[in-house]
Amino acid sequence: MTCIDPLPGEKFPPVKLFVVLGLLFWILVTGLGQAQAGLWLFTADEKKSKIDLKVTLDLGITKDSDSDSTKVEGTMIAELTPDVPPVETIHITSGDFRSTKSKLQLSYSLGPFGLFGKAKFSMSDLSIRIDPGDAGEEAEVDEEGYFTQEDNTPTLRGVVSYDVNALGNESQGEIDFSDPEQFPEDQQGEAFAIEGQLTWDGDQPVLKFDFEIEQEVETEEFEGITVLVLASGTLVARGERLADRPLLAIVPIGDGQFRLAWEVGAYVLEAAAEPTFAEPETIDLDDGRVEFIADPDGDQPQRFFRLRSR
């Protein structure tokens, strides 16, 4: 066991002793890799991932639905804390998943025997994104790896070609979901929950989750018809570490102080009163700074520190 002796003629008062013991515990935890967050890039397994697309046309007096399915390719980034099992929290910060099928085909017969009209749709370049600013908060991971990350706002992308002849409305054309003039931001999809499970295959994390995203579309191109898009499915992805976690060295320098040092990099230093970092305090660091002196704190008899990439 590592011991820290007082300097000659010096005795640690209780507060300093608690600080020393607290930091020693932190060193032990960090050495075991249990308190460090890590960024992982997860790549979708195309054979096990799919999206089921169901689109309903609602004329008010009648409606009809059709569906199509596609395999999925793409990636997402997640922060795991710690970045070795057992993981305590996960935060999916971004994602971009695309259809492997060139076109999804949908057709409709509205009313009995198509009395109110017919319609055909095809959707190409379908993708579902979660941008960094639209991801929910980090989620706790239970003993079996299950978690729920709430309030993720999706961005649906793709080009829809349509041929509609209903209620006297005959129109053909395209709608580009990424064009704000054709598809206003106020018609973005509602926030959804990611309900998943994180498991490990050796030292590689495997992420599996189900999702369901709804989006309502109203456009002047086919006035009087409301389009409800439901994208649901399952994603299975395997992770690889984006970068080695930064190493934080802690050395006692006397008077209950400790010097924290690290290699040059874009890092954030955080402190907390408990090892779970439920309420971390961010310590402002100038660019290029590679050390920090930690002083005893009577209000916090033990403090824990971690260094993470920005």
Q: What is the pTM of this model?
A: 0.65
Q: What pLDDT sits at residue 250?
A: 78
Question: What distance in Å separates the CA atoms of residue 86 and residue 200, rounded to the nearest whole number?
Answer: 9
Q: What pLDDT sits at residue 151?
A: 94
The pLDDT confidence band at residue 243, using thresholds 50, 70 and 90, is low
Strands 117-130 and 89-99: antiparallel
169 pairs with which residues across the strands? Answer: 166
Q: How many CB atoms lie within 10 A of CB 249?
A: 14
Q: Is the pLDDT of residue 8 over 90?
A: no
What is each CA distance from 34 to 3, 88, 92, 190, 227, in whole angstroms? Answer: 21, 9, 19, 36, 48
Q: What pLDDT sits at residue 245?
A: 59
Question: What distance in Å separates the CA atoms of residue 136 and residue 266, rounded to the nearest whole number?
Answer: 24
Convert 11-54 into a string of H (helix), E (strand) and C (coil). Answer: CCCHHHHHHHHHHHHHHHHHHCCCCCCEEEEEEECCCCCEEEEE
Question: What distance in Å separates the CA atoms of residue 33 and residue 23, rounded to the nearest whole number?
Answer: 15
Q: What is the pLDDT of residues 88-123, one digit of tens each?
A: 999 999 998 999 999 999 998 888 877 888 889 899
The pLDDT confidence band at residue 80, using thresholds 50, 70 and 90, is very high
Between 246 and 158, name the one with better pLDDT: 158
> What b/e readout covers 180-212, taking b as 16+ CB neighbours within 10 angstroms?
eebbeeeeebeebbbebebeeeeeebbbbbebe
Question: What distance in Å separates the CA atoms of residue 289 and residue 263, rounded to the nearest whole number?
Answer: 9
Fold (CATH) for 14-36+245-309: Immunoglobulin-like (2.60.40)
Between 213 and 186, name the one with better pLDDT: 213
Q: What pLDDT sits at residue 276?
A: 62
Q: What pLDDT sits at residue 259?
A: 81
Average pLDDT, the chain: 80
Q: What pLDDT sits at residue 4?
A: 38
The pLDDT confidence band at residue 1, using thresholds 50, 70 and 90, is very low
Is-contact 208 49, C-beta < 8 A? no
Phi, psi values for residue 94, rounded to 5°: -165, 160
Q: DSSP letters along 187-246, please? A: GPPPPEEEEEEEEEETTEEEEEEEEEEEEEE--GGGTT-EEEEEEEEEEEEEEEESSPPP
Q: What pLDDT sits at residue 148?
A: 97
Question: What distance in Å separates the CA atoms of residue 301 and residue 310, rounded to the nearest whole number?
Answer: 28
Q: What pLDDT sits at residue 298?
A: 63
Question: What distance in Å separates the CA atoms of residue 32 and residue 168, rounded to the nearest whole number?
Answer: 70
